[in-house]
C-alpha cells in the first residue's frame, strides 16, 4: 500500500478521534471552535508517519481511521471540501463500519446541501457507535439547521442522557441555541441553565444567556452573564456585538463605545460590524 506520509511504506497508527464539535453551521448563525489545532494535528501526523516506517502493513481499519481524520482536517481546518470528500470516501471504502468516517461524511454532505445523504450517514454513525454522544450532538445540530426542532431536541437529549458522554454542556448549549432561534426563550433558558450547571465556566452558554436576557430586556442579568463571559470566553465579532448591545442598553456608554471601536477596528468585514453600523445610522 502506498504510504500517506511519503515514500516510506507501512502503517500509520490510529490517531485519537477528532474532538467533539459544539459549533453550528451557517444555518445556525453561530461559530463554533473547530477540531484540532493545526500544530497538534501535524504532530500526530508526523508521529503516525514515523511509526509507519517501523511496523508492517497497515490494516484497512487503521487506514480508514487515518483517512477519516485527514478528511475532517481538510473540511474543518482548510475548507478544502474536494480533498475532504476524497479522503472520507476512501475511508468508507476501506472500512464501511468506521463511525468517524460516516460522521465526517455526514457533515460534508450537510455543507454541500445534500441533507438526505447527510442524514443517512449521521444515522449510520449513531448505529455503529450508540454510546458516542458526539454523534447524537452533531445530528441534533444538523436537524436544528434543517428547522426540525423537535427532532433536534430529542437528539440533544439522547446525548445528554448518555452517561458515557463527557461533555453534556455542549449538547445542552446547542439545544438552548436551537430553541432560542425557534423563539422559545423559556425552553432555551432551561437548557442553557443546565449547561452552566454541568460546567459553570462554559463560556458559550454564558454568552448565549447574555443574549437571551438582552432580548428579554432583563438588563441586570444580561450584564451579569456578559461580564462572566468576558472573564472566560474569547473575543469574537459576535461576543463584541452582544456586549455592545448589553452595555448600551444598560446605560454604560463608555464600555459600549470601547467594544464598538474594537469590533470595527478588528473585524470590519464581519456581519456584526455591518449590524453595528446600521444600528448607529438608525440611531
Percent of the chain with pLDDT over 90: 77
Say what the pLDDT of residue 57 is: 57
Residue 204 lies in a domain: no
Residue 72 lies in a domain: yes
Q: Is the pTM of this model over 0.85?
A: no
What's the domain range around 277?
A: 225-283
Q: Give dist(CA 228, CA 233) in Å, integer.
A: 8
Cβ neighbors of 197 (< 8 A, separation 6 or more) are: none
C-alpha grid cell, residue 256: 459600549
- CA of 272: how far to CAs of 80, 87, 175, in Å? 26, 35, 23
Q: What gap in Å lies between CA 163 and CA 148, rounded to an integer?
A: 25
Q: How far is 220 from 20, CA to CA, in rounded Å?
A: 33
Is residue 175, in this structure, part of any structural domain at all? no
Q: Does residue 219 lie within any of the structural domains?
A: no
**Where residue 37 falls among pLDDT bands split at 50, 70, 90?**
very low
Tell me the average pLDDT across 78-90. Answer: 96
210 domain-assigned: no
Q: Is the pLDDT of residue 199 over 70?
A: yes
pLDDT tier for residue 283 given thresholds of 50, 70 and 90: low
Percent of the chain whose predicted confidence (pLDDT) is above 70: 79
Q: Which of 29-43, 54-68, 145-159, 230-244 has the lowest mean pLDDT?
A: 29-43
The mean per-residue pLDDT over the stretch 79-89 comes to: 97
pLDDT band at 58; cut points 50, 70, 90: confident
Which of 48, 77, 112 terminates a domain? The answer is 112
**Using H for helix, E for strand and C for coil, what is the string for 19-35?**
CCCCCCCHHHCCCCCCC
Q: Which three cell numbers stand for residue 266?
A: 478588528
CA angle 132, 137, 141 (to 5 degrees): 150
Average pLDDT over residues 84-99: 97
Residue at a domain's end among 65, 81, 112:
112
Question: Band of the pLDDT at 171, cuts 50, 70, 90?
Answer: very high
Supply the angle between the helices 149-161 and 168-181 in degrees, to the nearest 10.
160
pLDDT tens, 102-141? Answer: 999 999 999 999 999 999 999 999 999 999 999 999 999 9
Distance from C-alpha of 194 to C-alpha of 169, rounded to nearest angstrom: 8
In a domain, 74, yes or no: yes
Give the residue carrying C-alpha cell 432551561: 190
Counting the structural domains of the chain, the total is 2
Average predicted confidence (pLDDT) for the chain:
85
Name every residue whose Cβ is closer than 8 Å to that of residue 149 and which is 6 or more positions away in sequence: 143, 178, 179, 182, 184
Last residue of a domain, one of 58, 85, 112: 112
Residue 193 located in a structural domain: no
CA distances in angstroms from 117 to 112, 122, 142, 153, 232, listed in the order given:
10, 9, 12, 21, 38
Output the CA torsion 173→179→181→182 (10° steps).
Answer: 170
**Residue 147 domain-assigned?**
no
Amino acid at each position: 500500500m502506498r504510504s500517506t506520509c511519503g515514500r516510506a511504506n507501512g502503517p500509520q497508527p490510529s490517531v485519537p478521534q477528532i474532538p467533539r464539535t459544539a459549533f453550528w453551521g451557517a444555518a445556525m448563525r453561530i461559530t463554533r471552535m473547530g477540531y484540532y489545532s493545526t500544530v497538534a494535528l501535524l504532530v500526530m501526523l508526523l508521529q503516525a508517519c514515523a511509526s509507519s516506517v517501523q511496523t508492517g502493513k497497515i490494516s484497512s481499519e487503521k487506514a480508514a481511521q487515518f483517512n477519516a481524520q485527514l478528511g475532517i482536517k481538510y473540511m474543518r481546518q482548510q475548507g478544502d471540501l474536494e480533498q475532504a470528500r476524497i479522503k472520507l470516501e476512501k475511508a468508507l471504502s476501506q472500512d464501511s463500519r468506521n463511525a468517524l468516517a460516516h460522521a465526517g461524511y455526514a457533515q460534508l454532505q450537510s455543507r454541500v446541501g445534500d441533507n438526505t445523504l447527510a442524514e443517512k450517514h449521521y444515522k449510520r454513525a449513531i448505529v455503529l457507535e450508540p454510546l458516542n454522544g458526539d454523534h447524537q450532538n452533531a445530528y441534533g445540530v444538523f436537524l436544528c439547521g434543517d428547522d426540525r426542532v423537535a427532532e433536534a431536541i430529542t437528539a440533544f437529549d439522547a446525548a445528554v442522557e448518555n452517561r458515557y458522554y463527557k461533555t453534556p454542556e455542549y449538547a445542552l448549549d446547542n439545544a438552548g441555541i436551537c430553541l432560542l432561534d425557534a423563539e422559545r426563550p423559556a425552553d432555551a433558558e432551561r437548557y442553557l441553565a443546565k449547561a452552566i450547571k454541568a460546567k459553570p465556566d462554559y463560556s458559550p452558554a454564558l454568552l448565549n444567556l447574555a443574549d437571551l436576557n438582552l432580548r428579554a430586556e432583563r438588563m441586570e442579568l444580561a450584564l451579569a452573564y456578559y461580564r462572566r463571559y468576558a472573564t472566560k470566553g474569547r473575543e469574537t465579532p459576535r461576543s463584541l456585538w452582544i456586549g455592545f448591545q448589553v452595555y448600551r442598553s444598560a446605560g454604560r456608554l463608555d464600555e459600549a463605545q470601547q467594544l464598538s471601536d474594537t469590533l470595527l477596528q478588528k473585524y470590519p468585514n464581519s456581519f456584526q460590524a455591518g449590524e453595528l453600523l446600521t444600528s448607529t445610522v438608525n440611531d
